[in-house]
Amino acid sequence: MIFIALWMVALMFYTCAAVAPPDGGPKDETPPQFISAIPEAGSLHFKGGKVSIKFSEYISEKSIKNAVKISPRLDFPAVIKYADDELIINFPEGLLPDQTYVITINRNLKDERSVALDQSIQIAFSTGEIIDEGIISGRVYGEDGYGVHLWKLEKEFEDSIFFTEPLYVSEADDDGFFNFKYLAPGDYVMLGIERSAAGAILVPERMAYGVSSKKVYSLAKNQTIEGIYLRPKRENPPLKMTHGEWLGKRWGWMYFNQELNDITFQGLNILDSKEGVHSLDFYQDEQDKKRFLLIASDTLNVGKAILNIESVISGKDSLLNHAKINFRVPGKMDTTHVKQTQPESTVTIRLEKDGGPTIPIVFSKPIMVITDSAFFLVADTDTVVVGVDWINPTEIDFLPPMGWQEKTKYQLMVFADKLTPIEGKSLKDSVTYIRFNSEKKLGYGGLSGLIVNEGIQPLIELSTLKKEPEIFHSSVDSNLQFHFKNIPEGPYRLMIIFDRDQNGEFSFGSVLPFQPSEWFYIHPDTFDIRANWDIDVGLIQEERQ
């Protein structure tokens, strides 16, 4: 009996110990919240030593690394320890007198479910009688996550400061807003940077960054400077020819590390395995402007070959000199069929005012001969022979002879025996069908408004809310009004640019040599252009810092 009683007690203990929250249910996506600090945030006469920072839930110990920054920088680093839902930071002794120290906890910090802080946290202590209360804030615009670097000038501005460790770092929230608090009076410079590089020394060719529209921001005691806007971008690296691939006896592709526009090649040729020099025709791939189709006038000898370029010219500028790459010319005869690679399925079209859009039709290898009646267009019950606009030997820009018609189904018939590829066989099927469905005609409307001109000629930009936006520009007339007409219907973002260099677009500036960006303002609302409507948005005014 005693044994049974002990067994039942043990079973009850085990059952109680095994209680746990049930599986399933909504995923916890609540960010951890700052609860309190000891000493209390804002404390004066701070001597250093232990600071305890408490959160609303347990913190992931692995996330602490690179999550805590202390400004200004300490001569000896603080020791940071993990304690479940607390961070323990041990400051060294010998802190500067009458100095506000700021602990910034950025969005690298996560809870045990890997949910990050929703925005950076700043906690300040002063070794003197006051806490500095200066604030600099603004917004970073872009498609990714960003941080902001801030430096306080100790002497005259030098652009080399951007290549030093920042004095203050703030991570922008998901909407791009950033905020520096507890700043002492003085002159400051800043830089927007991709979030993954926040706190690191800038390497322009590797990191997206954006400079501000002013060189220096002078902050008075307890002043707030707000409305600073930054737009990071990646610098174009030096142009390189990255590689080539030779797919047949006479043709192949060459690739560059960036998109190219309006360029010419000088001294473009191939040296084959028997020292034969072959001149080349080249065609840019409109679907991938980093690569160019190459076609040789003669068959290349099998084996190692060298592609040479004397120079790549854009206008009066030479972008690349004396480039070469190696590749191999295949020995096997090409017996494969050419394929129609785009479009991959039925194309749905919204008819534009000019009868467009044109639709790209792409083949897997160059088509060298096209005989009559290669293309027939079937629209409803009508069938007609059509000509097509070849923009290079692999690609067509297709548009029906009279433009698209609303609410109509089309079939483009491509006859294999009318197309001769550079090598191999024509299309596998005797007739290939490419299908298009046109929907209701796209409507067009207008948008106008009034802005305050501060002496610099403003440029107004409307851009569609797409991954690859369509962009429209308008100047401002003598009455400070702007007008957009015949804009395709849909949602748009409006931006004001003080077009300092008068080049008709936003200029991002640079760090070396330092050139400020052009001042810009992006309206917080989107504007919905509707067919046959003209929207007047009234006066748009934003204080310029």
Model pLDDT for residues 161-199, shown as the tens digit of each residue: 999 999 888 889 889 999 999 999 999 999 999 999 988
C-alpha to C-alpha distance for 120 and 135, rounded to whole angstroms = 15
Do 156 and 74 lie in one domain? The reply is yes
| Statement: residue 427 has pLDDT above 60 | yes
| pLDDT band at residue 15 using 50, 70 and 90 as cut-offs | very low
Total number of residues shown for the chain: 545
Do 46 and 84 lie in one domain? The reply is yes
**pLDDT of amino acid 454:** 66
Establish if 304 belongs to a structural domain.
Answer: yes
* Strands 375-379 and 409-415, bridge-based pairing: antiparallel
DSSP string, 419-486: EEESSSB--SSSEEEEEEEE-SPPPEEEEEEEE---SS-EEEEEEESSSS--EEEEE--TTSEEEEEE
Model pLDDT for residues 310-324, shown as the tens digit of each residue: 999 988 889 999 999
Model pLDDT for residues 317-349, shown as the tens digit of each residue: 899 999 999 999 998 889 999 999 999 999 999
Kindly provide the b/e burial profile for residues 517-538, where b requires at least 16 CB atoms within 10 angstroms of the residue's own CB. bbbbbbeeeebebeeeeebeee
**pLDDT of amino acid 543:** 59
Query: For residue 357, what are the β-bridge partners?
Result: none
Do 107 and 150 lie in one domain? The reply is yes
| Statement: residue 24 has pLDDT above 80 | no
- 230, 258, 292: which is the final residue of a domain? 230
C-alpha to C-alpha distance for 471 and 466, rounded to whole angstroms = 10
Question: Is there a contact between 292 and 301 (Cβ–Cβ < 8 Å)?
Answer: no
Establish if 169 belongs to a structural domain.
Answer: yes
Do 95 and 184 lie in one domain? The reply is yes
Residue pointed to by tokens 């404390």: 43
* Strands 100-105 and 121-126, bridge-based pairing: antiparallel
**pLDDT of amino acid 118:** 84
- 378, 407, 438: which is the final residue of a domain? 438
Q: What is the CATH number of the domain that holds 501?
A: 2.60.40.10
Domain tally for the chain? 4
**pLDDT of amino acid 9:** 44
Establish if 118 belongs to a structural domain.
Answer: yes
Based on DSSP, count helices (H) and strands (E) in the chain, helices before strands.
1, 43
Model pLDDT for residues 60-99, shown as the tens digit of each residue: 988 888 888 888 878 788 899 989 999 999 998 888 888 8
Of 39-48, 113-122, 265-274, which one has max mean pLDDT? 265-274
| pLDDT band at residue 381 using 50, 70 and 90 as cut-offs | confident
Q: What's the rounded mean pLDDT across residues 205-234?
A: 95
| pLDDT band at residue 13 using 50, 70 and 90 as cut-offs | very low
C-alpha to C-alpha distance for 245 and 206, rounded to whole angstroms = 27
| pLDDT band at residue 16 using 50, 70 and 90 as cut-offs | very low
Burial of residue 495, with CB atoms counted within 10 A of its CB: 0-12 exposed, 13-18 middle, 19 or more buried: buried
| Statement: residue 20 has pLDDT above 80 | no
| Statement: residue 156 has pLDDT above 60 | yes
- 208, 230, 252: which is the final residue of a domain? 230
Residue pointed to by tokens 């220096």: 216
Q: What is the share, in percent, of the chain residues with pLDDT greater than 90?
A: 64
Model pLDDT for residues 484-531, shown as the tens digit of each residue: 999 999 999 999 999 988 888 899 999 999 999 999 999 989 999 999
| Statement: residue 43 has pLDDT above 70 | yes
**pLDDT of amino acid 10:** 46
| Statement: residue 22 has pLDDT above 60 | no
Q: Work out the mean pLDDT of the chain and round it to a whole number.
A: 89
Q: What is the CATH number of the domain that holds 388?
A: 2.60.40.3710
Establish if 307 belongs to a structural domain.
Answer: yes
245-to-111, 249, 253, 305, 402 alpha-carbon distances in Å: 48, 11, 5, 11, 39
Close Cβ partners of 392 (under 8 Å, ≥ 6 residues apart): 283, 284, 285, 286, 293
| pLDDT band at residue 355 using 50, 70 and 90 as cut-offs | confident
**pLDDT of amino acid 23:** 52
Question: Is there a contact between 130 and 113 (Cβ–Cβ < 8 Å)?
Answer: no
Do 172 and 39 lie in one domain? The reply is yes
Do 73 and 217 lie in one domain? The reply is yes
Establish if 199 belongs to a structural domain.
Answer: yes
| Statement: residue 221 has pLDDT above 90 | yes
> Domain range spanning residue 428?
340-438
Do 353 and 418 lie in one domain? The reply is yes
Do 83 and 187 lie in one domain? The reply is yes
More confident residue, 366 or 17: 366
Do 173 and 81 lie in one domain? The reply is yes
Question: Is there a contact between 388 and 367 (Cβ–Cβ < 8 Å)?
Answer: no
Do 199 and 59 lie in one domain? The reply is yes
Establish if 73 belongs to a structural domain.
Answer: yes
**pLDDT of amino acid 199:** 86
Q: What is the CATH number of the domain that holds 284?
A: 2.60.40.1220
Do 65 and 190 lie in one domain? The reply is yes
Establish if 11 belongs to a structural domain.
Answer: no
Do 469 and 385 lie in one domain? The reply is no
Q: What's the rounded mean pLDDT across residues 31-39?
A: 92
Establish if 6 belongs to a structural domain.
Answer: no
Question: Is there a contact between 303 and 275 (Cβ–Cβ < 8 Å)?
Answer: no
